[in-house]
Amino acid sequence: KAIGWSDIVALSTNPRGWAAYGHPEFGDFKFGHTRPDDSNSGLDSIIAENYAAVGKLRELSLADVTNPTTQDFVANVESSIIHYGDSTGFFANEMFTQGPNYLSATVMYESLVVQANEGQLYPHLAYPVVAIYPKEGTFYSDHPYTILQASWVTPAKRAAALAFRNFLLAPAQQKKALQYGFRPADLSVGVGSPINSAHGVDPSEPKSLLQVPSADVTQAIETSWEQQRRKVDVMLVLDRSGSMNDLVGGLSKIEKAKQGLTEFVNLLGNSDGLGLTVFSTNTNVLTPVSALGPKRQSVLSNISGIDVSGSTRLFDTIAEQANALKTLPSKHIKVLIVLTDGMDTSSKLSVSQLLSQITASGANAGEGVKIYTIAYGNDADVSELTKIAGATGGQEYAGTPQNINQVYLQISRFF
């Protein structure tokens, strides 16, 4: 049976989820794709969704994109997103290792499906993986090689670039690329193994190709997506213990952390939910999670006024705020972002007790609260923070006063 975006809409909006298709053990339909402003596969995703909404293969127009029916169709697809991201490979890895309780489907390249079924990268594949070529059409995602015409491109550089291009297109290299699941640019090489059903893909597909839309239509799709994307509820948790007053490389840890938080807040939309919690010996919720728009300036003022003192009540704070996010009635993505510069010294919970509370499990594990942890400096327990993030489908980051703005930016790409 041919499957497409219309089936994803039907599954995403069915309150019975996978139970409507005889698989209640899989829970809700859980979908993922990268952000279209960060990744080619994410841009391909939302363009294909717009095409599917209007039933076209070519000449997608501005009127098509702004049509309320199209807007609703795309929003319904996006409603099943568990989180976004900037790496197609990250989604593939999560799906291949955690299975359908975490992620039902994701937009990825055919080559990743081939590699998953090779057995070397994923010897313990959670579930068999197959590629679905949407019945409404899809794209070939090329890897272009371009030799620029610029003043700094000398004849020697041009000759070297031509030689390397010829090397890549030679039959030996084209056959090697095929072994990794890439379709060869040299048609004389042919599409053979491992692009076959044994590796979860179909060499006869795709049967319908979509035309790349014009630049203005593509821009309109991206602009619309900002409204259609699944919104997020974020609780920012900041360690304000005494050690945060230390200088690293001449930079104040707390002041740089506050700068990073400020930049992060400015990346969120008015309809996203945001809360702010600080902790040391005790925990203080400066503002609970609610729509950011009406309180953006007060949140920024709260961040500016954070001071430091006390010890580190890390585990109890994480447990309390994760539970608070779970109880929120919204259908938003739920995220906890925790920055700490030290080890827990003041909690009643141990790390193992915390992990037992927050570990994603069950049919809807992928819909649980994601925890992103930042080990800020050299004194934080990276091992514990990695376990905490990994248990929820989040990630751990190494932060310093020098890179903390970039760390918060990286985390923001997940929603």
pLDDT tens digits, 277-289: 999 999 999 999 9
Task: Find the DSSP H helices in 19-120.
Answer: 40-54, 62-66, 68-78, 88-98, 110-118
What would you report as the CA-atom Rg of the chain, rounded to the nearest whole angstrom?
A: 24
221 in a domain, yes or no? yes
CATH code of residue 219: 3.40.190
Question: Following CA atoms 385, 387, 390, 396 in sequence, which dihedral angle do they give, to the nearest 10 degrees?
Answer: 20
Which of 225, 260, 293 finishes a domain?
Answer: 225
Sign of CA dihedral 14, 331, 55, 57: negative
Asked if the model's pLDDT at residue 363 lies above 80, the reply is no
279 and 318 co-located in one domain: yes
Q: Is 237 exposed, middle or buried (0-12, 13-18, 19+ CB in 10 A)?
A: buried
The residue segments making up the domain with residue 238 are 231-412
For residues 71 and 269, what is the distance between their CA atoms, to the nearest angstrom?
Answer: 18
User: Residue 126's pLDDT is what?
Assistant: 78
Asked if the model's pLDDT at residue 48 lies above 90, the reply is yes
299 in a domain, yes or no? yes
Which of 210, 225, 240 finishes a domain?
Answer: 225
158 in a domain, yes or no? no
User: Residue 237's pLDDT is what?
Assistant: 98
10 in a domain, yes or no? yes
121 and 262 co-located in one domain: no
pLDDT-derived band at 241, boundaries 50, 70, 90: very high
Distant-in-sequence, close-in-space partners of 394: CB < 8 Å, separation ≥ 6: 335, 336, 370, 371, 372, 373, 388
User: Residue 360's pLDDT is what?
Assistant: 78
For residues 245 and 164, what is the distance between their CA atoms, to the nearest angstrom?
Answer: 52
pTM for this one? 0.89
Asked if the model's pLDDT at residue 296 lies above 70, the reply is yes
205 and 241 co-located in one domain: no
Q: Is 58 exposed, middle or buried (0-12, 13-18, 19+ CB in 10 A)?
A: exposed
213 and 128 co-located in one domain: yes
Q: For the ranges 81-95, 211-225, 359-373, which has the lowest average pLDDT?
A: 359-373
User: Residue 102's pLDDT is what?
Assistant: 85
For residues 189 and 415, what is the distance between their CA atoms, to the nearest angstrom?
Answer: 41
297 and 371 co-located in one domain: yes
104 in a domain, yes or no? yes
Q: How many CA atoms lie within 13 A of 227 on its CB side?
A: 11
Question: What is the average per-residue pLDDT within 125-130?
Answer: 87
183 in a domain, yes or no? no
CATH code of residue 384: 3.40.50.410
283 and 374 co-located in one domain: yes
Tokens read off for 253: 């840890």
Asked if the model's pLDDT at residue 118 lies above 90, the reply is no
28 and 54 co-located in one domain: yes
74 and 212 co-located in one domain: yes
Give residue-wise pLDDT tens across range 76-94: 999 999 999 889 988 888 8
Give residue-wise pLDDT tens across range 152-198: 999 999 999 999 999 999 999 999 999 999 999 998 999 999 999 99
325 and 217 co-located in one domain: no
Question: What is the average per-residue pLDDT within 355-377?
Answer: 87
209 and 271 co-located in one domain: no
Cis, peptide link before residue 194, omega less than 30° from 0: yes
398 within 8 A of 377, measured Cβ to Cβ: no
205 and 284 co-located in one domain: no
Question: What is the average per-residue pLDDT within 103-120?
Answer: 92
Which of 207, 225, 243 finishes a domain?
Answer: 225
- 315-338 burial string, b = 16+ CB within 10 Å, else e? bbbbbbbbebbeebeeebbbbbbb
157 in a domain, yes or no? no
149 in a domain, yes or no? no
Q: Is 403 exposed, middle or buried (0-12, 13-18, 19+ CB in 10 A)?
A: middle
Tokens read off for 105: 């489907």
Q: Is 126 exposed, middle or buried (0-12, 13-18, 19+ CB in 10 A)?
A: middle
Q: Report the number of distinct structural domains present in the chain.
A: 2
Tokens read off for 217: 């239509």
270 within 8 A of 303, measured Cβ to Cβ: no
**Residue among 321, 346, 338, 319 nearest 376 (CA):** 338
203 and 239 co-located in one domain: no
Mean pLDDT, the chain, integer: 94
Spacing of C-alpha 229 from chain mean position: 12
